[in-house]
């Protein structure tokens, strides 16, 4: 089995090592690919996918890289239309490890994945990236024609600039049916693994409140001075295409109209593509109806195929970074509050109301 470890030091740049390991792992056909500075583009069939690595930057002595996978999907669409934003949000609700991200300037919708990594975490980050990014061209082939018709747009297909249209589908596009689906048939590999309890113990040592059982956990983190964001992880839900695995969601303590929430979810997905963010864009922002209002939710599904020890903890740490990031966006003038004090006050208010 191919490993990033086998490439480290080969190109004197961990980001470029990472990039070539992705290319070779997928056995990309040279005829249907193009290399450029710090990246490559390829056509698995009708839709171009681009993979690139941002140059590393120093962060307290650690060199951080950010890897991107972006696949063309829909073009000639007014992404400001409410119905389009609602449809994007609905599709993103069942996001596995990708996000539909609209581009207002170009009138396009693309499929995005991004991961930030440094030397210590590069090996597991590469495993997740190489397995999740391949879902993008599969999704494009399956969904673009019907979705484009629904929103009066056009599938964003393109030919290879030298070799024209690819007539045969790359074998990698069959990986969902050959590997992901069979692995998703048995119960979640996170169930009874001890990973939920381990993660809850880890976060309970900091400014958080966490509870766990054998099949999931709930985690509350500070969202400003008086509120908390809520993160849930569960092994009990089944993805409609990929079967069993791990669902992680983060709910913000905010309320908007349905239309406002869908629009803001699109904006947050766009913001998550930034080159220096530390959280992984594995999953997507969407809106979730709460009675007459809606709230903002970040959701991801990790297939059974991806299971390895401590992956849950790493995904939750990324989600915790996202919680702080969103708090800074929505409540820039507030400091981080004490979660235990917030919960104590919440219980006092409940007792008083009774």
Nearest one of 331, 175, 297 to 241, comparing CA atoms = 175
Query: Is the confidence at residue 352, as pLDDT, over 70?
Result: no
- Confidence bin at 354 (pLDDT 50/70/90): low
Provide the mean pLDDT of the chain.
Answer: 94
pLDDT tens, position by position, 266-319: 999 999 999 999 999 999 999 988 778 999 999 999 999 999 999 999 999 999
Cα distances from 162 to residues 31, 101, 108, 129, 287, in angstroms, run 9, 28, 24, 28, 42
pLDDT tens, position by position, 9-53: 888 899 999 999 999 999 999 999 999 989 999 999 999 999 999
Residue 169 sits at the vertex; the CA angle it makes with 165 and 175, to the nearest 5 degrees, is 150
Helix axes 122-133, 311-330, angle to 10 degrees: 80
Average pLDDT over residues 72-93: 95
- Confidence bin at 3 (pLDDT 50/70/90): confident
Nearest one of 214, 255, 245, 216 to 232, comparing CA atoms = 216
């Amino acid at each position: 089995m191919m490993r990033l470890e086998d490439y480290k030091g080969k190109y004197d740049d961990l980001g470029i090592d990472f990039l070539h390991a992705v290319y070779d792992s997928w056995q990309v056909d040279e005829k249907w690919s193009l290399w450029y500075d710090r990246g490559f583009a390829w056509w698995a069939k009708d839709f171009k996918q681009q993979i690139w690595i941002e140059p590393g930057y120093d962060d307290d002595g650690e060199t951080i890289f950010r890897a991107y996978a972006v696949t063309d999907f829909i073009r000639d669409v007014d992404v400001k239309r409410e119905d389009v934003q609602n449809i994007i949000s609905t599709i993103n609700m069942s996001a596995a490890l990708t996000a539909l991200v609209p581009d207002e300037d170009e009138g396009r919708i693309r499929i995005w994945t991004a991961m930030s990594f440094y030397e210590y975490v590069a090996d597991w980050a590469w495993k997740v990236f190489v397995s999740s990014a391949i879902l993008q061209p599969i999704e494009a082939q399956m969904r673009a024609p019907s979705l484009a018709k629904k929103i009066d747009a056009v599938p964003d297909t393109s030919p290879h600039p030298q070799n024209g249209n690819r007539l045969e589908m790359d074998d990698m596009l069959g990986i969902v049916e050959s590997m992901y689906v069979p692995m998703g048939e048995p119960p979640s590999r996170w169930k009874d693994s001890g990973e939920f309890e381990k993660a809850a113990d880890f976060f309970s040592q900091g400014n958080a409140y966490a509870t766990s059982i054998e099949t999931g956990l709930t985690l509350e983190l500070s969202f400003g001075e008086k509120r908390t964001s809520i993160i849930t992880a569960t092994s009990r839900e089944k993805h409609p295409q990929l079967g069993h695995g791990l669902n992680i969601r983060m709910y913000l303590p905010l309320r908007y109209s349905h239309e406002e929430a869908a629009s803001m979810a699109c904006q947050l997905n766009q913001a998550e593509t930034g080159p220096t963010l530390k959280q992984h864009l594995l999953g997507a922002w969407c809106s979730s109806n709460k009675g007459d209002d809606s709230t903002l939710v970040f959701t991801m599904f990790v297939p059974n195929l991806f299971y390895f020890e401590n992956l849950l903890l790493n995904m939750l740490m990324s989600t915790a970074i996202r919680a702080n990031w969103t708090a800074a966006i929505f409540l820039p003038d507030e400091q981080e509050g004490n979660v235990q004090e917030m919960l104590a006050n919440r219980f006092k208010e409940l007792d008083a109301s009774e």
